[in-house]
Amino acid sequence: MAEIAFLGTGIMGVQMARRLAQAGHKVRAWNRSRDKAARLAEFGATIADTPAEAARDAEFLICMLSDGPTCDDVLLNQGAAAALAKDGIVIVMSSIPVDTAQAEAKACAALGKHYIDAPVSGGEAGARDGTLAIMAGGDTAEIARAKPLFEIMGRVTHVGPAGMGSLAKLCNQMIVANTIATVAEALLLAKRGGADPAAVRQAIIGGFADSTILRMHGERILKGDFKPGGPAKHQLKDCRTAIATAERAGLDLPVSALVRQLYEDMVAHGDGEVDHSGLYRELERRNGIG
């Protein structure tokens, strides 16, 4: 059984850390608000006072903090990465920009530590049930070492060198945003054109137009239930990061750029806290409806 430092035990992190502890690993958890980590004691985890204390001589450090700057601070400024055992692996499972992950990988290498960026998709339910989609960037050998841990949390795919897990996550978020916009436009056309949009959705499920977004977010759109879920402001952040990443790669991605603008409009019109499927409302607003 491995010694694992687990940093960041929020809504998803606490579930992931619990599964690792219940599988018999020696989990040392740290969270900025200690009470969120304390819940893990009953599953056999120990609670650390600082990130470096959690990481001391551990083989693995899993980071599920809120964003890139927080990961940077905890791993590098607060000395968590340096505290790991020789050949220790830092695994950042937060969603962070590609260039942040690449810079962290370099900084860890300078400390003699390995680095994997392995962001996830699947939400709280996926974290709880161990069914997360895990997109891992890093060296093949290190990902193989970490695989027993990943398999407790979900299904891992090695998508390239360090940073590429974050790129895969970005592609995922970009597809989600564009597909929401697509489903919203189709359901709006169905409704305004005189069809029963709920029946149209039912009719096309199972065919070429089928998608998880049509099934899940399509239903929210039809019910007008835009309680988040994933708030539009987070979707917008992902869209901005995706377009900035595309621009650095010298790529013009016109559909994604347009959908980013639609989320800019949605947030500018005050719907930042609304579920991202509420882009339907932005389309109505654009068309003077409602």
CB atoms within 10 A of CB 283: 21
Distance (Å, whole) CA 18 – CA 126: 13
**Smallest gap from residue 52 Cβ to its own copies (A):** 32
Token readout for 195 is: 């069809």
DSSP state of 249: T
Distance (Å, whole) CA 84 – CA 57: 5
Residues 6+ apart with CB under 8 A from 195: none
**Smallest gap from residue 188 Cβ to its own copies (A):** 7
| Widest pairwise Cα distance in the chain | 66
Q: Does 141 bind its own copies (CB under 8 A)?
A: no
Of 5, 245, 263, 267, the one binding its own copies by CB under 8 A: 245
Which residue's entry shows tokens 């897990």?
Answer: 165
The binding track of 211-230 with respect to its own copies, each residue x by CB under 8 A or -, is: xxxx-x--------------
**Smallest gap from residue 78 Cβ to its own copies (A):** 29
CA-closest candidate to residue 189, choices 201, 178, 177: 201
Select which of 86, 169, 191, 227 is catalytic: 169
The binding track of 145-174 with respect to its own copies, each residue x by CB under 8 A or -, is: ----------x-xxxxx-xx--xx-xxxxx
Of 44, 244, 253, 269, the one binding its own copies by CB under 8 A: 253
* Residues numbered 31-90 forming contacts with its own copies, rule: CB under 8 A: none
The span of 75-83, 84-92, 142-150, 248-256 binding its own copies (CB under 8 A) equals: 248-256
233 in catalytic set: no
CA pseudo-torsion sign 100, 176, 62, 136: negative
* Residues numbered 184-213 forming contacts with its own copies, rule: CB under 8 A: 185-190, 192-196, 199-200, 202-204, 206-213
User: Which residues are designated catalytic?
Assistant: 169
